[in-house]
C-alpha cells in the first residue's frame, strides 16, 4: 500500500499479509466457527503459531508503531491532517460493518455508536472492531510522543530512545501486575486493551530506531541469519504456550497464568525485530510471488474485518467438502490455506475497492518536508 507521502515499502505489505493470515487461521480453525479443539498441539512445532493465530493482532499493532515512525522520522506532523487521514483509513470500513451487523444480527446500535465515538469500551464492537478502537487510541497518542522520542534520539541516539520507552514499558507491566494481584488474571487487560497493546506500539517505535541506527547497515545474509535465530526462539515460545493450553486453555479463561503480564512485551520485541530484519531482506524480492503478497497486504484491513462474515460461510463449505473427515489441525490448516484464505481475499477485493479505496484516495500528505537536522532514510 502506498502512503500519502508516496512511499511504498513492499516488506510492510508482506508482513500485513502474514498478520492477516494468522488471524484468519485463528478464527477459521477454532470454535465458535471451526471444530479444532483449543490447545490441540500440531505435529510440527512451528505450526503452533497458526494454532495461536491471535498473535497476528500483536504483529499488526507493532507494525503500526514501526511504520508511523518510519514515515514521520525527521519530519513535522500536521496534527489535523494526521487525524483526518487516520479517520479516512479506518472509519469507513468499520462503520460499514457496524451497520451490517446491526441490520443482520440485531446488535445494539446505541451501544455500538457510543463506543465507536467515545473509544471507551472496545469489547462492545462487533466483528473484530475492538482492535481498531485500540489502534485509534494509539493514533491519538502518536503525534505527541513522536517528537519527544525523536528529540531524545538526536540528543543521545539509541540510549535516548531506550530511556523513554523502557520506563514506559515498566509502568505498563506494573499496571498489569496490579490488575493480576487484584483479580487473579492479567489476560484481559493484556490482550484486549491499550494497557497491553501499547507495549507493542512502542516496541514498534523503538525497533524502528534500532533499524535505522544498526540493522539498516546489515547485509541481507546477516539479516536472514539473525531473523532465523530469533524466529526459532519465538516459535519455541509459542510451541510451549500452545502445549500448556494456549489462549483459552492455560489454567482457565481468563487465565490465571502470570506470564500474561509480559506476553504483550515478548510479542512486541520479537515482531519489532522481525519487521526490522525482514525489511532488509525484502529489498531483494521483486518476483510475482512478492507482488501477490504485497497485494494481499493491501487488502489486509478488509480481510481482517471480513473474517466474521466470511468464515461461517467457509465453515459451511468445509463441512460439505472437507479434505478428510477429521477435525484436526492439519485438516483445517490445509483447507484454510488452499481454499479458505484465497476465498476471503477475493471477497475482500470488493470491500476494499468499493468501501475502503474511495476514502483512501481522499487522504492528503500529513508530514512536512525533512527538517534540517534529519537526513532521509
As for how many domains the chain has, the answer is 1
Report how far residue 144's alpha carbon sits from residue 164's, in angstroms, rounded to the nearest whole number.
13
* Domain assignment of residue 46, yes or no: yes
Query: Is 376 part of any domain?
Result: no
In the structure, how many helices (H) and strands (E) does the chain have? Answer: 16, 0
Provide CB contacts within 8 A for 91, sequence distance 6+. 359
pLDDT of residue 286: 84
Q: Give the Cα separation of 54 and 191 in Å (integer).
A: 9
* Domain with 36 in it: 10-360
Burial class (CB in 10 A: 0-12, 13-18, 19+), 205: buried
In a domain, 2, yes or no: no
- Establish if 219 belongs to a structural domain: yes
372 found inside a domain: no
- Assign 77 to helix, strand or coil: strand
Please list the pLDDT of the chain residue by residue as tens digits (377 residues). Answer: 555 555 678 999 999 999 999 999 999 998 888 778 777 788 888 999 999 999 999 999 999 999 999 999 999 999 999 999 999 999 999 999 988 988 877 667 767 776 777 666 667 777 788 999 999 999 999 999 999 999 999 999 999 999 999 999 999 999 999 999 999 999 999 999 999 999 999 999 999 999 999 999 999 999 999 999 999 999 999 999 999 999 999 988 999 999 999 999 999 999 999 999 999 999 888 889 999 999 999 999 999 999 999 999 999 999 999 999 888 889 999 999 999 999 999 999 999 999 999 999 999 999 876 554 444 34
Q: Are 90 and 135 in contact (CB under 8 A)?
A: yes
Indicate whether 3 belongs to any domain.
no
Residues 6+ apart with CB under 8 A from 216: 280, 377
In a domain, 369, yes or no: no
Query: Is residue 370 one of the residues assigned to a domain?
Result: no
Amino acid at each position: 500500500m502506498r502512503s500519502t507521502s508516496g512511499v511504498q515499502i513492499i516488506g510492510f505489505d508482506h508482513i500485513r499479509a502474514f498478520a492477516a493470515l494468522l488471524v484468519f487461521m485463528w478464527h477459521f480453525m477454532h470454535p465458535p466457527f471451526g471444530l479444532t479443539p483449543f490447545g490441540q498441539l500440531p505435529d510440527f512445532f512451528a505450526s503452533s503459531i497458526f494454532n495461536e493465530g491471535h498473535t497476528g493482532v500483536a504483529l499488526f499493532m507493532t507494525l503500526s508503531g514501526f511504520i508511523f515512525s518510519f514515515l514521520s522520522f525527521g519530519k513535522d506532523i500536521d496534527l489535523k491532517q494526521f487525524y483526518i487521514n487516520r479517520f479516512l483509513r479506518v472509519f469507513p470500513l468499520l462503520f460499514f460493518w457496524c451497520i451490517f451487523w446491526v441490520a443482520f444480527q440485531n446488535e445494539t446500535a446505541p451501544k455500538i455508536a457510543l463506543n465507536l465515538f467515545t473509544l471507551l469500551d472496545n469489547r462492545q464492537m462487533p466483528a473484530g472492531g475492538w482492535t481498531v478502537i485500540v489502534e485509534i487510541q494509539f493514533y491519538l497518542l502518536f503525534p505527541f510522543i513522536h517528537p519527544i522520542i525523536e528529540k531524545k534520539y538526536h540528543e543521545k541516539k539509541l540510549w535516548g530512545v531506550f530511556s523513554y520507552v523502557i520506563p514506559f514499558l515498566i509502568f505498563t507491566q506494573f499496571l498489569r501486575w496490579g490488575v493480576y494481584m487484584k483479580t487473579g488474571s492479567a489476560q484481559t487487560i493484556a490482550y484486549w486493551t491499550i494497557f497491553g497493546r501499547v507495549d507493542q506500539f512502542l516496541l514498534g517505535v523503538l525497533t524502528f530506531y534500532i533499524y535505522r541506527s544498526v540493522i539498516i547497515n546489515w547485509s541481507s545474509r546477516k539479516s536472514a541469519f539473525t531473523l532465523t535465530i530469533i524466529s526459532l526462539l519465538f516459535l519455541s515460545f509459542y510451541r510451549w504456550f500452545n502445549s500448556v493450553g494456549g489462549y483459552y486453555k492455560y489454567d482457565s479463561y481468563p487465565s490465571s497464568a502470570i506470564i500474561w503480564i509480559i506476553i504483550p512485551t515478548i510479542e512486541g520485541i520479537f515482531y519489532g525485530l522481525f519487521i526490522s530484519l525482514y525489511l532488509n531482506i525484502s529489498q531483494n524480492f521483486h518476483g510475482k510471488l512478492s507482488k501477490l503478497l504485497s497485494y494481499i497486504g493491501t487488502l489486509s484491513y478488509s480481510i481482517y474485518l471480513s473474517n466474521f462474515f466470511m468464515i461461517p460461510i467457509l465453515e459451511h463449505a468445509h463441512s460439505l467438502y472437507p479434505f478428510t473427515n477429521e477435525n484436526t489441525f492439519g485438516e483445517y490448516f490445509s483447507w484454510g490455506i488452499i481454499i479458505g484464505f484465497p476465498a476471503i481475499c477475493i471477497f475482500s477485493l470488493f470491500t476494499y475497492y468499493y468501501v475502503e479505496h474511495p476514502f483512501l484516495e481522499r487522504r492528503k500528505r500529513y508530514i512536512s518536508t525533512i527538517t534540517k537536522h534529519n537526513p532521509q532514510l
